[in-house]
Amino acid sequence: MCIGMFMAILDVQIVATSLPTIQGALNINPDQMSWIQTAYLIAEIIAIPLTGFLTRLLSMRRLFAYGALLFTAASVGCAQSESFNALLLWRAIQGFSGGTLIPTVFSAVFLLFTPRHQNVATTVAGVVAVMAPTVGPIVGGWITETYSWHWLFLINVAPGLLAAALAACLLPRQTFELKHFRSIDFRSLAMMATGLAALEIALKEAPQRGWSSSVVLSLCAFSMITLTAFTLRTWYSLTPLVDLHNFKDRNFALGCILSFVLGFGLFGSVYLMPVFLAYVRGRNALQIGETMLVTGMAQLMIAPLAVMLEQRLDARLLSTIGFLSFAIGLGSSSLQIPQTDAAGMFWPQVVRGMAIMICLLPPTRLALGNIQDERIPDASGLFNLMRNIGGAIGLALVDSVIYTRSATHGVAIVNGLLAGDARTQAFVGMAPGAAADMSGKIDLIAQTIFNPMIVKAALVQGINDAWAVLALITLVPLLLIMLAYPIQPKARL
């Protein structure tokens, strides 16, 4: 099951790495390129909360096997696409089928394993879930430089078929519950799907159009209205499409908040590093991937210790340690300068890599550890949905911070250079005294020489501000964690 989940998460990152290559091959308008990712993410965010219903309808075994097969078939369809519209269609199918695999794996942790083995199972699933975005750049870069863009999708075929076959053979067999199909509330389904899609599109458009633009405000208002209507209709339904009553459990609600914040920091950090390395340091996709491997290696090294600590320490205390460490790791990257390279990024990555595992394990048990077995598939879907929504909002906020703050920093840097400020000159990378004789103005020759350096320095400061925002938001859970109550292990035969 982790093989299938790994491919579903990895696919987003490796495709993002090679969008320019796909654009050239299919002659796609640059303004439309982002829809290749957005189509996947919209379908995924709709599928994740439906996992509980689909599990009741098909059973875990059928859902995972069918989902893996559909994901594999859609990957082949993407590779064979000869037009932009065809690629969008197959990406949406990929996203929906991949979205069912992720929460199903976390459901299996609590439904198939005894409490004694759930810690190890959660660790394995957690390592896979957070490793995929980390290794994505290097895998995508290597494929792009070595083979054609088609292999970004064809790489999924063998693992997808293997995961589907093993799941069909090894997962428990259960009967097909057709009665659940007859109870589908299509109105609720439409409200949820359109509300989540509108939210995803609004978050995609906000950094470029502005958060106060009519398009973004309209999409946000539509999303709020439809999701509120969905929540009210579902809350009072006797056969809800998604069991929102899980939020009555205080630990589950707090666990979802922690998942939301973790998504915020995880997705944001995985996005900010390639932006800095590509646009400031001029690294290619393969070099970016090699630099980012440090985070993945730290995650692997800390995993056994994380399991041991999770078995011995209270989940609330361990979560506090994890999110505090994660905030420190994020905040450390807010001190970068234009000359920062892999060596300067090493220790912040190590801290974040170790912290991510500690941030993932206790909140997962906090959210799902006290939930009754029959409600776990719905709860797992909601728990994973919160992480994805947190990531989407985090990416939108990060982009907005970079766009707005870079311009402000650019003006400040120019003013500092005109004033002959030595610290500003050093940050930009000028030789001491290079701008001291500007006499309050920069002539055309100086602009030609210094403008690229100023733009790059302003971008670095905008990126640093984004790192600082992520760090501050990651500290929020520290105010909430102690509201949780101790986890009572469920007896299991």
Q: Is the pLDDT of residue 307 over 80?
A: yes
For residues 302 and 322, give the distance between their C-alpha atoms in angstroms, rounded to a whole number. Answer: 12
Q: Is the pLDDT of residue 436 over 60?
A: no
| Radius of gyration in angstroms for the set of CA atoms belonging to the chain, rounded to a whole number | 23
Segment (H or E) for 135: helix 115-146
For residues 61 and 413, give the distance between their C-alpha atoms in angstroms, rounded to a whole number. Answer: 59
Q: Is the pLDDT of residue 312 over 50?
A: yes
Segment (H or E) for 156: none
Q: Which residue has the tokens 């300067």?
A: 344
Contacts of 153 (CB under 8 A, 6+ apart): 11, 15, 75, 76, 78, 79
For residues 87 and 106, give the distance between their C-alpha atoms in angstroms, rounded to a whole number. Answer: 30
Q: Residue 456: which pLDDT band, with cuts at 50, 70 and 90?
A: very high
Q: Is the pLDDT of residue 491 over 80?
A: no
Q: Is the pLDDT of residue 77 over 80?
A: yes
Residue 150, burial from CB neighbour count under 10 angstroms (0-12, 13-18, 19+): middle
Percent over 90 (pLDDT), the chain: 59
Other C-beta atoms lying within 10 Å of the C-beta of residue 33: 16
State the fold for domain 243-485.
Growth Hormone; Chain: A; (1.20.1250)
Q: Is the pLDDT of residue 459 over 50?
A: yes
What pLDDT is stored for residue 492 in this prediction? 44
264 or 33, higher pLDDT:
264
What pLDDT is stored for residue 447 in this prediction? 55
Q: Across residues 179-198, what is the average pLDDT? A: 87
Q: Which residue has the tokens 């063998």?
A: 158
Q: Is the pLDDT of residue 174 over 90?
A: no
Q: What is the DSSP string of 220-251?
A: HHHHHHHHHHHHHHHHT-SS-SS-GGGGGSHH
Q: Is the pLDDT of residue 449 over 70?
A: no
467 or 135, higher pLDDT:
467
Task: Confirm if 256 and 108 have CB atoms less than 8 A apart.
Answer: no
Angle subtended at Cα 246 by Cα 241 and Cα 248, rounded to the nearest 5 degrees? 130
pTM of the shown model: 0.91
Q: What is the DSSP string of 192-218?
A: HHHHHHHHHHHHHHHHHH-TTSHHHHH
130 or 78, higher pLDDT:
78
Q: Is the pLDDT of residue 443 over 70?
A: no
Residue 289, token pair as written in the block: 């991937």
Q: Is the pLDDT of residue 73 over 80?
A: yes
What pLDDT is stored for residue 432 in this prediction? 65
Q: What is the DSSP string of 411-471?
A: HHHHHHHHTT-HHHHHHHTPPTTTTTT-TT---HHHHHHHHHHHHHHHHHHHHHHHHHHHH
148 or 260, higher pLDDT:
260
CATH number at 1-183: 1.20.1250.20
Task: Confirm if 349 and 214 have CB atoms less than 8 A apart.
Answer: no
Q: Is the pLDDT of residue 489 over 60?
A: no
How long, in residues, is the chain?
493
List, for residues 363-418, the tens digit of each pLDDT value. 998 999 889 988 999 999 999 999 999 999 999 999 999 989 999 999 898 888 88
135-149, 234-248, 303-317, 367-381: which range is least confident on average?
135-149
List, for residues 217-239, the tens digit of each pLDDT value. 999 999 999 999 999 999 998 88
Q: Across residues 60-66, what is the average pLDDT? A: 96
Domains of the chain, by residue range, sit at 1-183, 185-240, 243-485
| 3-state SS assignment for residue 6 | helix
Q: Is the pLDDT of residue 493 over 60?
A: no
For residues 203 and 263, give the distance between their C-alpha atoms in angstroms, rounded to a whole number. Answer: 15
Pinpoint the alpha helices (H) of 155-185.
Answer: 157-170, 179-182
Q: Across residues 170-190, what is the average pLDDT? A: 81
102-106, 169-173, 345-349, 423-427: which range is least confident on average?
423-427
Q: Is the pLDDT of residue 27 over 80?
A: yes
What pLDDT is stored for residue 433 in this prediction? 60
Contacts of 258 (CB under 8 A, 6+ apart): 319, 323, 359, 363, 366, 367, 477, 480, 481
Task: Confirm if 93 and 69 have CB atoms less than 8 A apart.
Answer: no
Task: Confirm if 378 and 116 have CB atoms less than 8 A apart.
Answer: no
**DSSP classification of residue 369:** T
What pLDDT is stored for residue 438 in this prediction? 52
1-183 and 243-485 share one CATH topology?
yes
What pLDDT is stored for residue 178 in this prediction? 66
Q: Which residue has the tokens 């999708």?
A: 153
24-33, 250-259, 294-303: which range is least confident on average?
24-33
For residues 5 and 296, give the distance between their C-alpha atoms in angstroms, rounded to a whole number. Answer: 17
For residues 301 and 304, give the distance between their C-alpha atoms in angstroms, rounded to a whole number. Answer: 7
Q: Which residue has the tokens 């009754």?
A: 372
Half-sphere exposure of 439 (CA within 13 A, CB side): 1
Residue 295, token pair as written in the block: 């985070």
18-27, 80-89, 264-273: which range is least confident on average?
18-27
Alpha-carbon distances of 431 from 57, 280, 337, 438, 441, rounded to whole Å? 68, 19, 15, 14, 18
Task: Confirm if 329 and 380 have CB atoms less than 8 A apart.
Answer: no
Q: Across residues 339-367, what is the average pLDDT? A: 93
For residues 487 and 369, give the distance between their C-alpha atoms in angstroms, rounded to a whole number. Answer: 7
For residues 33 and 282, give the distance between their C-alpha atoms in angstroms, rounded to a whole number. Answer: 21
